[in-house]
Structure 1
């Protein structure tokens, strides 16, 4: 049976507009929100799960991050880290809103500087409730299927030893799930790495019908030194700057069979549909200016006809 896709909304709590922090992760968002966090510096060499904060060495990174609970508000963040000796040049930037994020990271560094890196983490969380049309299905576990589209390029230069990486992780009720995607490669010793990604990522999570749940999608673009070494340089880019977008819910199934349902979200967003860029409303000053222009045109027309 074809699922029924209706939308009801919960009232939003007081929104936090563009709250800034040094670095943010999934744990810093409440039941609904979007974030972007861009950092560069010297890391430990670990790969934290997408959505968690990056593993920077204490006092050896520059970060900026923003969060919001306002649907449609676009966040942006950028940062860089430079060091003369041993040389490090790292920069990163990103953007985020509910349903769409972009991430870019680039670095060039002397391997003796340690694990130089740059990264942008971005994503969103919202609280959803799936209500089955059939009341007898309330309280049963169902599989929610959805997809996001990922588009970008990984590049590692054939010098030194660098890594370039993109990852996407689905969170459910503040915990990671088995639904994730990761791609990475290394440029080293005369062998470059180049990978183009342009595909839909399909995910599934199990939720209880009629019970609110927090669903989060977080992604990270990162690059860095893959290993310490002699006096050679590594360089890499992970360019997903306009790239991960929500494609909508493809279905809800119970025991393998599609069911009819209605959806509500705390943000008020209809997640059954694919993300579409919102058209900003004209500012009041623009509307006032347009009104005065129309009045002036009409007055001129009256004078001309007199």
Structure 2
């Protein structure tokens, strides 16, 4: 991905913000976040980007967010209890354009809805400016894709679920129909195993020439599918490597492709696929090292 970075003074490089759990609502007009949790849930499935359905006081969560382009976030969460036995853990990573999520649990079904989950995503404010000025103010369809790569596994004992989901958000609202979800269960002697390695295509309607907030949030989760019998269940949702932005596939007006330019608050060129970039601190150290080498040679 072409990301426009300026070499900033160290004092201007922002540090990630940390919290117990975070959601899409915790980001402003631009930012990336990751939230990793484990514990006892209610058994519901909140939308990707929202807070999970944890029972009060029965979970452990860690989250982080950033507005710095190229900064990589990482969090983890774990929860355990002896009786009924529960062991659950999760971890995740996030930066603009790329996230990773992992969740695993093993628990006695009589404990209730034990679960682990990791939520990650990003939001940025875009403006699409048409090459034809007369098209400003008209509604156009923006199409784009992400690549999702991971594995869902549910063991054949007990009754477990394993799940991955991705949701598109536009102007702080989840876009209906613009999501991807896969869930399976391991139970009663039948395991569940599914490998996912594919591009996911989405589209939203936006107004040309007007800024809008576009976000993608995903969640990997695993947990007890049905509380009750004295069985042990175990499952994992491993998408640690990862979901990545693949670029814009087109902008159409009344079904016809149009020429446009894109600007974003972050400075990222979202028209192309994600590619890792050094964090600002690394870039600053590299610049300092090159300067020192140049001065030494001159001396």
Fold shared by both chains (TM-score > 0.5): yes
Is it true that 1:146 corresponds to 2:148 in the alignment? Answer: no
Alignment deviations for residues 113-152 of structure 1 (CA, whole Å, 9 cap, x no partner): 0000000000000000000010110110000000000000
Corresponding residue for residue 59 of structure 1: 57
Q: What is the alpha-carbon distance in structure 1 between the residues aligned to residue 283 and residue 183 of structure 2?
A: 40
Q: Which residue of 1 aligns with 2:233?
A: 234
Q: What is the rounded CA distance, in whole Å, between the counterparts of 1:261 and 1:158 in structure 2? A: 52
Cα drift, residue 284 of structure 1: 6.1
Q: Residues 208-261 of structure 1, C-alpha deviation per residue, up to 9 Å, x if partnerless?
A: 001100000000000000011221100000000011000000110000000000
61-70 vs 277-286, greater mean Cα deviation: 277-286
Residue 105 and residue 8 in structure 1: after superposition, are their counterparts in 2 closer, same or farther (change >3 A)? closer
Residues of 2 paired with 1:53 and 1:24: CA distance?
A: 7
Structure 1 stretches lacking a partner, 5+ long: 1-5, 300-306
Could you say which residue in structure 1 is the equivalent of 2:109?
111
Alpha carbons 1:50, 1:121 under 8 Å: kept: yes
Equivalent position SS for 2:48:
coil
Q: 2:80 aligns with which of 68, 79, 82?
A: 82
| Cα deviation, residue 290, structure 1 | 6.8
In structure 2, the CA distance between the partners of 1:8 and 1:286, relative to structure 1 (3 Å rule), is: closer
- Between 1:277-286 and 1:226-235, the stretch displaced more is 277-286
Whole-Å Cα distance in 2 between the matches of residues 82 and 286 of structure 1? Answer: 46
Are the counterparts in 2 of residues 40 and 90 from structure 1 also a CA contact under 8 Å? yes
Contact 1:8-1:265 at 8 Å conserved across structures: no
- Identify which of 35, 58, 62 aligns with 2:33: 35
Match of 1:20 among 18, 21, 28: 18
Distance in 2, Cα, partners of 1:214 & 1:15: 23
Q: Which residue of 1 aligns with 2:267?
A: 268
1:287 Cα offset (Å): 1.3
Q: Provide TM-score, normalisation by structure 1.
A: 0.90
SS state at 2:245 partner: strand
Number of residue pairs matched by the alignment: 289
- 1:60-116 Cα offsets, whole Å, 9 max, x none, are 000000000011000000010010000000010000000000000000000000000
1:302 paired residue number: none
The alignment's TM-score, normalised by the length of structure 2, stands at 0.92
Quote the RMSD (CA, aligned, Å).
Answer: 2.4
Q: Distance in 2 between matches of 1:164 and 1:182?
A: 11
**Structure 2: distance between partners of 1:165 and 1:19:** 27
Of the three residues 156, 159, 163, the one matched with 2:157 is 159
1:281 corresponds in structure 2 to: 283
Determine the structure 1 residue equivalent to 2:9. Answer: none
CA distance in 2, matches of 1:35, 1:8: 20
Alpha-carbon distance in 2 for matches of 1:210, 1:119: 38
How does 1:86-235 map onto structure 2 within 5 Å?
A: 86-177=84-175, 178-235=177-234
Distance 1:254 1:20 in 2: 41
Answer whether contact 1:35 1:75 (CA < 8 A) is retained: yes
Cα deviation digits, residues 257-287 of structure 1 (max 9, x gap): 0000010000000000100011342626971
For 2:268 and 2:290, the matched residues in 1 are separated by 30
Point out the structure with max Rg over C-alpha: 1
